[in-house]
A and B are shown apart, each in its own frame.
Chain A
Amino acid sequence: MLDKVIFFFFAGVAILSAGLMVTRRNAIHSAVFLITTLLATAGIFLQLRAEFIFIAQIILYVGGIMVLFIFVIMLVSLDVALRQVQFSRQKWVALFVTLALAVEVGVMLWSSRKVPGQGFLLPNAVPAAKLPPNTEALAGSLFSSYLLPFEIASVLLLVAMVGAVVMAKKRT
Chain B
Amino acid sequence: MNPALRDVLVFLQSWWVELVSGVVIVAVVPLVAGYLVLMERKLMADMQARLGPMRVGPHGLLQPIADAVKLLIKEDIIPDNADKMVFWMAPVVSMTAALTAMGGIAFGPAFLVARDINVGLLFVIGVSSLGLLGIVLGGWASNSHYSIMGALRSTAQLVSYETAAGLALVSGLLLAGTLRIRDIVHAQEQSGVWFVFLVPVAFFIYVVASIAETNRAPFDLPEAESELVAGYMTEYSGFRWALYFLGEYANMIVVGAVATTLFLGGWLRPFPNVHWMNWLDALPALFTAAVGAYCVFRAGKQPARVQVWFMWGVALACFAVALILGVPVLPLQVVAPLKFMVPGLHGAFWFLLKISAYIYLFMWLRFTLPRYRFDQLMHLGWYILIPLAIVNVLAAGVAMILETEYGWNRWLALVVTTLFTLGVALFLLRLNDKRAAAASSAAPPPEEPSTEDSYAG
Contact = CB atoms under 8 A, between A and B. Distances in A.
A and B touch in the complex (CB under 8 A): yes
Interface of A: 1-2, 26, 28-29, 32, 35, 51-52, 54-55, 58-59, 62-63, 66-67, 70-71, 74-75, 133-135
A26 B85 CA distance: 11
Nearest to B15: A2
Given A63-B133, A135-B179, 6 more contacts: A2-B8, A59-B122, A66-B133, A67-B132, A70-B137, A133-B118
- The winner among A1, A63, A133 for most chain B CB atoms within 10 A is A63
A43 to B, nearest CB: 12
Contacts of B122: 52, 55, 59
Contacts of B125: 59
6 contacts: A1-B3, A51-B117, A55-B119, A55-B126, A71-B152, A134-B119
The 3 closest A-B pairs by CB, nearest first: A59-B126, A51-B118, A1-B7
A58 B127 contact: yes
Interface extent on B, as a size class? 20 to 34
Contacts of A70: 133, 136-137, 140
Given A1-B3, A59-B126, A59-B129, A32 B136 contact: no
Nearest to B127: A58
A32 B83 CA distance: 12
A137 B58 CA distance: 56
Contacts of B283: none
Q: Quick one: which of A2, A62, A67 has the most chain B CB within 10 A?
A: A67
B146 interface: no
Given A28-B86, A51-B118, A63 B155 contact: no
B89 interface: yes
B152 A74 contact: yes
Interface in B104-148: 117-119, 122-123, 125-127, 129-130, 132-133, 136-137, 140-141, 148
A32 B130 CA distance: 12
B119 A52 contact: yes
Contacts, number: 70
Given A2-B7, A55-B126, A62 B140 contact: no
A71 B149 CA distance: 11
B118 A28 contact: no
Contacts of A66: 133
Contact of A63 (B89, B126, B137): B126
Contacts of B130: 58, 62-63
B159 interface: yes
Contact of B86 (A32, A52, A67, A75): A32
Given A26-B83, A28-B83, A58-B127, A67 B119 contact: no
Interface string B1-39: 001100110010000000000000000000000000000
Nearest to A32: B86
A26 B137 CA distance: 13
Contacts of B4: 1
Interface in B126-185: 126-127, 129-130, 132-133, 136-137, 140-141, 148, 152, 155, 159, 179
A54 B83 CA distance: 30
A1 B137 CA distance: 37
Nearest to A73: B140
Nearest to A75: B152
